[in-house]
Structure 1
Amino acid sequence: MNVQAQNYWDAFWKDKEMPTSISAWQFGGSPDVLAQLVVDKVKTATCSGRVFYELEKEPLPKVDDYSIVLNSKDEPVCIIRTSEVTITPMNKVSEAFAYAEGEGDRSYDYWKKVHVQFFTEALREVDLEFSEDMLLVCERFELIDVK
């Protein structure tokens, strides 16, 4: 976590009991646009390929994890709390989840198109091939604070 994110986190929790699980990260693809969708309460879900957690030896998110969402300059934008985590094959993601991701016209078709493209490119970078049944870590979250 960078200094700006840590200062934001510390200031937000100043007179409250601070949770122990916190991370700071950017959304892939378009960090500024996606962070703004969270601030606008349009984006309430996100997903990532489970394989990326395995490759990076990162723990899977859990309910009640807190995250500082960063913009493309690694500046803190807001704090979110994870409210649900499921592992789902990409081709089984629901229309409701695609809508909650808040991107484009919020349709399943749009969601699928951009996620196939994103995951195909990201997997290619680590010498893996995209498959429509790849496992996704699907998270729902709530906005806690805006910087």
Structure 2
Amino acid sequence: MQMTIDEFWQEFKSRHPEVTTDHYDAYPFGYEDADELAHLVAIGQKTATTSALGLYEPDEARPFVGEYNIILDSHDQPVCVTQTKVVEEMPFDHVTAEHAYHEGEGDRTLAYWRRVHREVFTQEYQNESDEPFNEQIPCLCEVFERVD
């Protein structure tokens, strides 16, 4: 039987009585590769992510240190819980090789990270913004830890 996101959160809290908040975010990573990326988080290989700051809505919540996140698969089913440890804003072309490595995807190099994120962000900017993608767009780089 599959659990709802709220049931998954309540079960997580029952195993972690130190967690006193009811605030969490729930989302899949990526699009067609959500299952693979959720798996990388579940096994501890993916411990970072990057989003394009310019694509957030003005009133949309931004990630913050201490936030809990439920990582979903491609069917919006909960896979695991993470907690955000670091959030840094920086231009796309300043993202480091270390951050790319911690994103845990492909060969974990900065070249791979740039190629994939350039493709994704270019598409997202075309679909969601009047501005085109460029290498100086502000990015939110998050580091997280799988906690369950």
TM over 0.5: yes
RMSD of aligned alpha carbons: 1.3
Partner Cα distance (2:98, 2:43) in 1? 18
Counterpart residue number, 1:139: 142
Shift of 1:117: 0.3
Partner letter of residue 89 of structure 2? I
Shift of 1:133: 0.5
Shift of 1:58: 1.2
Counterpart residue number, 1:4: 4
Counterpart residue number, 2:101: 99
Pick the aligned partner of 2:28 from 26, 49, 52.
Answer: 26
Counterpart residue number, 2:114: 112
Partner Cα distance (1:28, 1:52) in 2? 15
Pick the aligned partner of 2:133 from 119, 130, 133.
Answer: 130
Aligned positions, number: 142
Partner Cα distance (1:58, 1:76) in 2? 22
Counterpart residue number, 1:14: 14
Counterpart residue number, 2:52: 49
Query: For each residue in 1:10-33, what CA deviation from the matched residue of structure 2 results, as whole angstroms up to 9, or x when unmatched?
Result: 011126143242111111231111
Gaps of 5+ in 1: none
Counterpart residue number, 2:83: 81
Q: TM-score, normalised by structure 1?
A: 0.92
Partner Cα distance (2:82, 2:60) in 1? 19
Write out the 4+ residue segments of structure 1 that deviate beyond 3 Å after TM superposition. none
Partner Cα distance (1:31, 1:18) in 2? 29
Instruction: Please state whether the residue corresponding to 1:103 is helix, strand or coil.
Output: coil
